[in-house]
Structure 1
Amino acid sequence: MQTHFGWDRFRAGQRAVVEAVLEGRDALAVLPTGGGKSLCYQLPALVRDGLVVVISPLVALMEDQVLALQKRGITAACLHAGLDPGRRQQAMARLRDESLRLLYIAPERLQGEATRQMLENHASEGRLVALAVDEAHCISAWGHDFRPDYRRLGMIRRLCPGVPMLALSATAAPRVRADILRLLDLRSPLVQVSSARRANLNYTMQRRPRDPMPQVLEALKQSRGAALIYARTRRSVELWAERLREQKVDATPYHAGLDPDTRRTALTRFLEQKRPVLVATVAFGMGVDRGDVGLVLHLDLPATPEGYLQESGRAGRDGQPASCLVLFSPGDRTTLSWAMQASGRSSPSLEERRRLDLAQQQLRRMEAVAEGEMCREQALLLAVGELVSPCGHCDRCKTAPNHRDWSTQVETLLTHLADQEGMDLRRLGEHLALHEPGRGDRWTWLARRLVQEELIRESNDGAQRLYLRESGRSFLKTPWPLDYAA
């Protein structure tokens, strides 16, 4: 570890996982972003005389890790659909002459006979040290980034029955961990779950104004080191990079639609400049080794609490204070809901409908974190099954919100909903704004809070259709105070 990585001690949770793999034991490691998950499979590849195969969901992640390992003098390669013939032939040659220590492959390559044969041969000849499944939460429909190709990874156990398997994730709630253990058929595994709490991160979530540029510039002014700004779409990434350059901020765009050379240049700038500003889609950052990211700023509501924990966790890996800012709008959830619905087929299968339902539920949980009055870190960690005390330094902990009793407005809203066979969120807000005092967006905000309070049920089809629950009917019979921040 000292020779190749320059470290003289393990981070929390690493040593037990490394020792389990070296002993030939299966393991599930849930270590926070920046917690050093990659060392858990890279170190066994150097200690043992053989090959570690790493299954990874993103080409950029594979390429970044291979480049970093090669710079350290470690023989590593990757195999994916976008690889040019020369590099593919070089990787295969190193596999044959047994000089390769780490091989990164995309999950879909396991459907190819050549890849399966390679694994079987290495396993039967005793040259396969371990199989590592990175971002293992992708195997679970409950995970925040489900990938259908991950569902088929259970075949690895049949191909390589005696080879230890290591599953790794930065965030995995208990039900996701259970899915990983079951679907990968991990046998008597070590389960190492470290706290996802990052005491050096300061969380702030604010309503996004019509033009959030002043907040963005102020956040950049206050930050140290590198800054990551996340936008939802490729077009938004390019527009924001251009707008920031107009404000004399040397911002670089990064997304999957750019050509490889442009992406490589953007990554190099981010890794080597003193205070780079990168505007990217949320896939950027997985496996990127820069410790002094002082700001992670989301220009839209994140899709899930688990995903946001991973994305915000790219800040402050050096242990120094860092800021995590979300600028969100109530309309973000509507936009995301319809995008999720549009991404499915016109006649989805039962499993696809179930995944869409779960995605809508996770989106509502993220909205509850942003709109709620609980400590930000406490609410985020609760979403992944970890109960902690308030952090004391997020925006909610530092500023107590002003409360008022909304029970009269709640009674009005629920009474109106009781007379309907369901009504979509937008129409409800518009209708109440016509007949009762208050803006339409305030009524829709209140309706979303009542969904979180489970007085109203919302459809999971993206239409945001609202229905009165029995608990809502009970409120109408005997109202009680409901205090929310004004």
Structure 2
Amino acid sequence: MAHLRPEPLEVALQAHFGWSGFRPGQRPVVEALLAGQDCLAVLPTGGGKSLCYQLPAMVRDGLVLVVSPLVALMQDQVSQLQRRGIPAACLHGGLDSQSRYQLSRRLGENRLRLLYLAPERLKAEATRQLLDDVLEQGRLVALAVDEAHCISAWGHDFRPDYRRLGELRSQCPGVPLVALSATAAPRVRADIIRLLRLRRPLIQVRSAQRRNLSYVMRRRPQEPLPLVLETVRSARGAVLIYARTRRSVEGWAARLTSAGVAAIAYHAGMDPESRLLALEHFQQHPRPVLVATVAFGMGVDRADVGLVLHLDLPASAEGYLQESGRAGRDGLPAHCLVLFDPADRTALGWAMRASVRQLPAAVQEQERHRLEQAQQQLRRMEAVAEGTVCREQALLLSVGELVAPCRRCDICTGLSQPVDWSERASVVLAVLEERSGLEVRRLADELSEQGAGEGDRWGWLARRLVQEELISESDDGSQRLWLRSAGRRYLRQPWPLRWAA
């Protein structure tokens, strides 16, 4: 790889972005792209992934094409670049004919350095022709695929349209391609390299550990509003609150506002003008409180988020690392709180199954494997939330990273006190020894009817025993349970089982 003298890059970095130096992991990717080499860059949230392809666009007199999954993310990045005087634009389905004409004209006159587009736009013949024109003129500096984990069925945010991005390599064989993500486990990284057809790529993987973040995961109270209010009011800077559904987002924004905390809602079902106003409020208000679905936040440049609060169990540990990583990008201490309920996994699992049932019959079979993977990811996230080991340690293990206990989370600081569940575990295991394949809900109902306790607590315990590998569970979302050999050993000779209640 050709070695570039440090002066030009440092000068360009300062001139265009106002930075005096590179962040860890950025410079090797920039140099590799400028030398024509493919790259895979896994840099933590706040690690400056976008600069890896934005700086080459300014160093070379040409265009970088950026594939990004969300219109809001594209528009936010384009706005940031334009404020810096960097010519950038985004191409999406919401543009009117006049805007598309102006964009084409700017491209034809070589007045753009970065063009963002959604993956589905590559299906359009007009987009392919546009790409061919830039290629023919020799002006395409690099291709960038942001949120590249979306290409993998093992990724926490799989997007079918990303599967076609490998065609970019066929259409642009001589153009370097960089794939970027904040979190990608080893098998996701392997999928990215294979499906995007990266050729002998530079692989730059930085630790996802964020030493200024503290993780707390606790059961959601029956009435969570007082706890949410207390947590939000004590937070510094901006506050991001995530809820699973659009209805929940709007409901929580209204409840917080009624309680004296001005909160703004944001989700994909809002009209574009309302979403833009919410985004501007979050970016410009000194201490905004924004309630949103989890898609909000990718690429949004707000460094002083002091609290990221999840009102439901996240769908995967990898996704949660990315979502919680939107806190504390200024390097100051920040708080990450998850409020969850044992019923969350059941609700998420049913939602996943329902989304597959809505697909055409021919597609359902293809999606069944992905559904099983999503169920496994959800189960691992529940294990983190219900577990008794360091939260950060458990989360980072999900992306293949081994670290020492953080000494900051609720487990390390002793905020979560364990309870002995040994006797009740024996009750559950004994039932399954007699009746294999029983569903979680049926098991919980039957034990409750026998006067053994609350149904939701028995359901939680059964899922907890799955995490301990004493019980196995089906991956199709039906939550059928079978006793494992370790469960039979436990019935013969129990050992202590102590977890937070």
Q: TM-score, normalised by structure 2?
A: 0.94
Match of 1:107 in 2: 119
Match of 1:448 in 2: 463
* Aligned-pair CA distance for 1:47: 0.2
Match of 1:299 in 2: 311
Give yes or no for the alignment of 1:396 onto 2:411: yes
446-455 vs 469-478, greater mean Cα deviation: 469-478
Match of 1:367 in 2: 382
Structure 2 residue matching 1:385: 3-state secondary structure = coil
* Aligned-pair CA distance for 1:463: 2.0
* Aligned-pair CA distance for 1:405: 4.3
Tell whether the 8 Å contact from 2:143 to 2:176 is kept in structure 1 after alignment. yes
Question: For residues 169 and 222 of structure 1, what CA distance do their matches in structure 2 show?
Answer: 32
1:339-350 mapped onto 2 (5 Å cutoff): 339-345=351-357, 347=361, 348-350=363-365
* Aligned-pair CA distance for 1:52: 0.1
- The aligned amino acid for 2:93 is A
* Aligned-pair CA distance for 1:484: 2.9
Structure 2 residue matching 1:396: 3-state secondary structure = coil
CA displacement, residues 174-193 of structure 1 (integer Å, 9 cap, x when unaligned) = 00000000011111110000
Structure 1 residue matching 2:41: 3-state secondary structure = strand
* Aligned-pair CA distance for 1:250: 1.1
Match of 1:424 in 2: 439
1:119-130 mapped onto 2 (5 Å cutoff): 119-130=131-142
CA displacement, residues 209-242 of structure 1 (integer Å, 9 cap, x when unaligned) = 1111111111112111110111111111111111
Give yes or no for the alignment of 1:211 onto 2:220: no
Structure 2 residue matching 1:301: 3-state secondary structure = coil
1:49-198 mapped onto 2 (5 Å cutoff): 49-198=61-210
* Aligned-pair CA distance for 1:97: 0.7
CA displacement, residues 59-115 of structure 1 (integer Å, 9 cap, x when unaligned) = 000111111111111110111111122221111111111111000011011112222
Tell whether the 8 Å contact from 2:386 to 2:499 is kept in structure 1 after alignment. no
CA displacement, residues 24-77 of structure 1 (integer Å, 9 cap, x when unaligned) = 100000000111000000000000010000000100001111111111111101
* Aligned-pair CA distance for 1:434: 3.0
Structure 1 residue matching 2:308: 3-state secondary structure = strand
Pick closer, same or farther for the CA change 1:87–1:63 going to 2, 3 Å.
same
CA displacement, residues 228-259 of structure 1 (integer Å, 9 cap, x when unaligned) = 11111111111111111111111111111111
268-277 vs 442-451, greater mean Cα deviation: 442-451
* Aligned-pair CA distance for 1:423: 1.1
Q: 1:326 aligns with which of 334, 338, 343?
A: 338
Give yes or no for the alignment of 1:312 onto 2:330: no
Match of 1:471 in 2: 486
Give yes or no for the alignment of 1:12 onto 2:27: no
* Aligned-pair CA distance for 1:400: 6.2
Q: 1:356 aligns with which of 353, 371, 377?
A: 371
**Alignment RMSD, CA only?**
1.4
Pick closer, same or farther for the CA change 1:472–1:223 going to 2, 3 Å.
same
Structure 2 residue matching 1:448: 3-state secondary structure = helix
Tell whether the 8 Å contact from 2:410 to 2:416 is kept in structure 1 after alignment. no
Question: For residues 288 and 492 of structure 2, what CA distance do their matches in structure 1 show?
Answer: 58
Match of 1:378 in 2: 393
- The aligned amino acid for 2:257 is R
* Aligned-pair CA distance for 1:436: 5.7
Match of 2:211 in 1: 199
CA displacement, residues 330-361 of structure 1 (integer Å, 9 cap, x when unaligned) = 11111100000001135454330000000000
CA displacement, residues 266-319 of structure 1 (integer Å, 9 cap, x when unaligned) = 111111111111111111111111100111111111100111111111111100
Question: For residues 116 and 212 of structure 2, what CA distance do their matches in structure 1 show?
Answer: 32
Question: For residues 460 and 228 of structure 2, what CA distance do their matches in structure 1 show?
Answer: 24
Question: For residues 416 and 255 of structure 2, what CA distance do their matches in structure 1 show?
Answer: 33
* Aligned-pair CA distance for 1:471: 2.6
Question: For residues 416 and 40 of structure 1, what CA distance do their matches in structure 2 show?
Answer: 56
Question: For residues 8 and 92 of structure 1, what CA distance do their matches in structure 2 show?
Answer: 35
Match of 2:10 in 1: none
Question: For residues 458 and 429 of structure 1, what CA distance do their matches in structure 2 show?
Answer: 15
CA displacement, residues 131-151 of structure 1 (integer Å, 9 cap, x when unaligned) = 000000000000000000001
182-191 vs 81-90, greater mean Cα deviation: 81-90
Q: 1:242 aligns with which of 227, 230, 254?
A: 254
Give yes or no for the alignment of 1:409 onto 2:421: no
CA displacement, residues 354-385 of structure 1 (integer Å, 9 cap, x when unaligned) = 00000000000110010001111111000111
Number of residue pairs matched? 486
Tell whether the 8 Å contact from 2:155 to 2:184 is kept in structure 1 after alignment. yes
Question: For residues 220 and 493 of structure 2, what CA distance do their matches in structure 1 show?
Answer: 36
Match of 2:498 in 1: 483
Structure 1 residue matching 2:496: 3-state secondary structure = coil
Structure 2 residue matching 1:249: 3-state secondary structure = coil
* Aligned-pair CA distance for 1:117: 2.5
- The aligned amino acid for 1:272 is Q
- The aligned amino acid for 2:149 is H
Match of 1:41 in 2: 53
Q: TM-score, normalised by structure 1?
A: 0.97
Structure 1 residue matching 2:411: 3-state secondary structure = helix
Give yes or no for the alignment of 1:439 onto 2:454: yes
Tell whether the 8 Å contact from 2:238 to 2:306 is kept in structure 1 after alignment. yes
Question: For residues 353 and 76 of structure 2, what CA distance do their matches in structure 1 show?
Answer: 32
Match of 2:277 in 1: 265
Structure 1 residue matching 2:221: 3-state secondary structure = coil
Question: For residues 125 and 429 of structure 1, what CA distance do their matches in structure 2 show?
Answer: 67
Question: For residues 371 and 133 of structure 1, what CA distance do their matches in structure 2 show?
Answer: 35
Q: Mind listing any 5+ residue stretches in structure 1 that lack a counterpart?
A: none
Structure 2 residue matching 1:398: 3-state secondary structure = coil
- The aligned amino acid for 2:64 is V
117-126 vs 89-98, greater mean Cα deviation: 117-126
Pick closer, same or farther for the CA change 1:19–1:459 going to 2, 3 Å.
same
Q: 2:475 aligns with which of 453, 457, 460?
A: 460
Match of 1:27 in 2: 39
Pick closer, same or farther for the CA change 1:436–1:210 going to 2, 3 Å.
closer
- The aligned amino acid for 1:193 is V
Q: Percent identity?
A: 68
